A = this chain, B = another copy of it.
């Protein structure tokens, strides 16, 4: 038994109670995606993050705003109010709030007592997405927002979409770190028959977890069928848990039959954004970027729809697993781990530690 087998055997017998699961407290001190930039407009919009209902809008100057969706007076959702310039006026008693959450006016009385406010959450726009900080505002450091620069780089094209997931976000991350399910759950989109058996490397780097796989020769996965790549390829994939909010995946496909002078390398970058909506539900955005077939709306449409098909298969699996967990609360504790879980198990231990740190 080699060192790796030994590690797997250890993982197999490790108590699940030391891993994050659907009951682990949600992590607040991270930047999460709050929505597309296009979701922040002059129309008030309600969205829930980490169990808190927020109201989202954009100032006249174009700045995205996220306030607690609750008037501090009688808890009426502010989303039913209206914007008067940059003031949000509550639709019940007419109190107004500035974008920092402070109260501007209480119509029924002459003055505003000190301290009347609703909570304002730090937000920052980065390319096509707006990020939000739900934790301690003093720790909100915009330089910690994960890099997604290729989403605004003209050398890349991307399509994006959204799914609401009726499952805890930890299980989404576990699914994303596990490439061995492609063959079985996604046979008509992402998987090819030999994929589940391919060896892989797992690297743990601080609070990041990376898994790498190289398939020397295989058929093109169906999802890339209409992108112009043809025939046999080699497939080098990397999948990384970057933070509780984001997972990066890349696939380098090399056309093994490309003639001299023909392009042989094609890269895909898939960015998955997981934002806990509640303990049991998750906002799931994803962006599918490519460095080939640029500016081709037909490829855009094909990849968007293929990605939605594939990720809906994951969604269905995760929701069905959650259904089993709800009916048999002890199920996750009795689960066994297999070799291909190594990355997911590492990630779940990291999330558990982060949660323990936040709970102090």
Given contacts A93-B184, A180-B93, A338-B93, contact A77 B109 (CB under 8 A): no
Please pick, from B8, B52, B76, B332, the residue contacting A109 in the complex, using a CB distance under 8 A: B8
Q: In the docked arrangement, what's the CA distance between A53 and B332, Å? A: 15
Interface string of A329-360 (1 = CB under 8 A from B): 00110111111110000000000000000000
Given contacts A196-B93, A328-B70, A335-B73, contact A180 B108 (CB under 8 A): yes
Question: For residue A323, which residues in chain B have a CB less than 8 angstroms away from its CB?
Answer: 77
Given contacts A70-B328, A184-B90, A327-B51, contact A197 B107 (CB under 8 A): yes
From residue A15, how far is it (CB to closest CB) to chain B in Å? 16
Question: For residue A174, which residues in chain B have a CB less than 8 angstroms away from its CB?
Answer: 74
Interface string of A78-96 (1 = CB under 8 A from B): 0010000000011111110
Does A75 interact with chain B (Cβ within 8 Å)?
yes
* Beta-carbon contact of A331 and B94 below 8 Å: no
Question: For residue A185, which residues in chain B have a CB less than 8 angstroms away from its CB?
Answer: 91-92
Does A181 interact with chain B (Cβ within 8 Å)?
yes
Q: In the docked arrangement, what's the CA distance between A88 and B248, Å? A: 33
Chain B residue nearest to A13 (CB atoms) is: B113
Work out how many copies of this chain go into the complex: 3
Does A317 interact with chain B (Cβ within 8 Å)?
yes
Question: For residue A335, which residues in chain B have a CB less than 8 angstroms away from its CB?
Answer: 72-75
Interface string of A15-27 (1 = CB under 8 A from B): 0000000000000
Q: In the docked arrangement, what's the CA distance between A76 and B70, Å? A: 39
* Beta-carbon contact of A75 and B196 below 8 Å: no
Please pick, from B53, B116, B327, the residue contacting A336 in the complex, using a CB distance under 8 A: B116
* Beta-carbon contact of A183 and B8 below 8 Å: no
Chain B residue nearest to A90 (CB atoms) is: B184
Given contacts A113-B12, A184-B90, A336-B116, contact A331 B107 (CB under 8 A): no
Question: Which residues between 176 and 212 of chain A lie within 8 Å of chain B, taking CB atoms?
Answer: 178, 180-181, 183-185, 196-197
* Beta-carbon contact of B75 and A332 below 8 Å: yes
Interface centre among A93, A197, A328 (most CB of B within 10 A): A93
Other 17 A-B pairs with CB < 8 A, given A93-B180, A95-B338: A12-B113, A53-B324, A70-B331, A73-B336, A73-B337, A73-B338, A74-B321, A75-B331, A75-B332, A76-B317, A76-B324, A77-B320, A90-B184, A91-B317, A93-B196, A108-B340, A116-B336
